[in-house]
Amino acid sequence: MPLRNEFPPAGSDYLGGASDGYEYRTTFAGMNLGHTYEMVKQFLKEEGYDDVPLPKNEEELLLFRLPTRNKQILLFEDNGYVHNPIKILFPIDRRKKKVLTLCIYNEDFPDHLLRFHRVLERKPSRSTPTEIETAASVKNAKKQHLEEV
């Protein structure tokens, strides 16, 4: 059964990749980057992800590579193509020109979209007026409820 229909459970190995129940990660390496990318596209098609838009070829894929060599920035940004529920990433080590890492995310996982876009990892630098108003109205509602009880 395709990976999209039956996501590998945590701790399992599936076709050379590893799963934690939410993220399945595997690495591809071919004769060159074009060949590697074709392997990734074929894998996605076989595993039920043929409806996910992808760059049409190696040249388009390379447009998604971050131009920086700063490894700190690469720790916080996805260096590659990202389209829910997949990520096709270039290695941090630029010498590995033929390697791509494919990450597939479990769409049925709780808070999948927030996790995929790393929204839950972000800490707000300061509250917006809307957030302050919402927090105040929740606090007032709790206070009013306690007074009624």
| The total number of structural domains that make up the chain | 1
Written as six digits, the tokens of 55 are 């760059």
DSSP at 77: S
Is residue 120 included in any domain, yes or no?
yes
- Cβ neighbours for 22, distance < 8 A, ≥ 6 positions apart: 105, 106, 109, 112, 115
Q: What is the pLDDT of residue 147?
A: 57
Alpha carbons within 13 angstroms on the beta-carbon side of residue 102 total 21
Is the pLDDT assigned to residue 145 strictly greater than 60? no
What range does the domain containing 26 cover? 13-148
Identify the pLDDT of residue 16.
Answer: 85
Residue 32 in this model has a pLDDT that exceeds 70:
yes
Backbone angles phi, psi at 25, to 5 degrees: -130, 130
State the pLDDT at residue 59: 96
Long-range contacts of 65-72 (CB under 8 A, 24+ apart): 65/90, 66/90, 69/94
Residue 94 lies in a domain: yes
35 found inside a domain: yes
- Residue 6 domain-assigned (yes or no): no
CA-CA distances (angstroms) from residue 78 to 29, 82, 90, 117? 19, 7, 9, 10
Q: What is the pLDDT of residues 45-77, one digit of tens each?
A: 999 999 999 999 999 999 999 876 666 555 567
In a domain, 1, yes or no: no
pTM: 0.76
Please return the burial class of 115, using the count of CB atoms within 10 Å of its CB with bins 0-12, 13-18 and 19+.
Answer: middle
pLDDT at 117: 85
- 2 located within any domain: no
Average pLDDT, the chain: 82
Please report whether residue 8 resides in a domain.
Answer: no
Per-residue pLDDT, averaged over 35-44, amounts to 97
Percent of the chain having pLDDT more than 70? 76
Residue 3 belongs to a domain:
no
Confidence of residue 79 (pLDDT cuts 50, 70, 90): confident
